[in-house]
Amino acid sequence: MCKNFLGTRLSWNRLLGTAGVGVGLLVFPAVGAETNAAGANAVPGLAATPPMGWNSWNTFGPDVSATVVCGVADKIVDLGLKNLGYQYVVIDDHWEGGRDAAGHLLANPKKFPEGIKPLADYIHAKGLKLGIYSDAGDQTCGGEVGSFGHEEEDAAAFASWGVDYVKYDYCNAPDDFMTAIERYTKMGKALKATGRPMVFSICEWGPRSPWLWGRNVGGNLWRVSFDVGDMWDTPHNTHSCIGILAAIDASCNHEALAGPGGWNDPDMLVVGMGNKGNIKGGGCTVAEYQTQMSMWCMLAAPLMIGCDIRNADEETRRILTNAEAIAVDQDTLGRQGNRVARTGSADVWCRTLADGNLAVALLNRGDQPQKISADWKDLGLKAGATQAVRDLWAHKGLGNHADKLTLTVEPHATMLLRLSPVSEQVKN
Distance CA 36, CA 334 (A): 9
- CATH code, domain with 72: 3.20.20.70
Q: What is the mean pLDDT of each run of 10 residues along the chain (428 residues)?
A: 53 40 39 48 86 98 98 98 98 98 97 98 98 98 98 98 98 96 98 98 96 98 96 82 95 96 98 95 97 98 98 98 98 98 97 98 98 98 96 98 97 98 60
Do residues 300 and 253 share a domain? yes
Residue that is last in its domain, among 329, 352, 387: 329
Element (H, E) at 131: strand 129-135
State the pLDDT at residue 258. 97
State the pLDDT at residue 135. 98
Distance CA 105, CA 375 (A): 56
Tally of domains in the chain: 2
State the pLDDT at residue 44. 80
Residue 103 lies in a domain: yes
Residues linked to residue 303 through DSSP beta bridges, in sequence order: 52
Residue 22 lies in a domain: no
Q: Which domain holds residue 418?
A: 338-427
Do residues 342 and 319 share a domain? no
Do residues 354 and 323 share a domain? no
Catalytic, 169? Answer yes
Catalytic, 375? Answer no
Q: In this predicted model, what pLDDT tens digit does every residue of 94-139 receive, in sequence order?
A: 999 999 999 999 999 999 999 999 999 999 999 999 999 999 999 9
pTM for the full model? 0.92
Q: Please state at what angle helix 66-78 crosses helix 117-125, rounded to 10 degrees.
A: 10
Do residues 314 and 347 share a domain? no
Do residues 260 and 357 share a domain? no
Question: 305 — phi, psi (to 5°)?
Answer: -65, 140
Residue that is last in its domain, among 329, 349, 366: 329
Catalytic residue among 135, 154, 164, 169: 169
Find, among 5, 41, 105, 72, the residue nearest to 309 by Cα. Answer: 72
Distance CA 333, CA 352 (A): 8
State the pLDDT at residue 46. 96
DSSP label of 233: -
Do residues 279 and 370 share a domain? no
State the pLDDT at residue 38. 54
Distance CA 349, CA 310 (A): 33
Do residues 324 and 343 share a domain? no
State the pLDDT at residue 234. 84
Residue that is last in its domain, among 329, 357, 386: 329
Q: In this predicted model, what pLDDT tens digit does every residue of 69-97 receive, in sequence order?
A: 999 999 999 999 999 999 999 999 999 99
DSSP label of 145: B
Do residues 399 and 296 share a domain? no
Catalytic residue among 92, 227, 308, 378: 227
- CATH code, domain with 417: 2.60.40.1180
Distance CA 85, CA 183 (A): 31
Element (H, E) at 346: strand 346-352
Label residue 379 left, alpha or beta by phi (over 0 means left) and psi (-120 to 50 means alpha): alpha
Question: 68 — phi, psi (to 5°)?
Answer: -60, -50
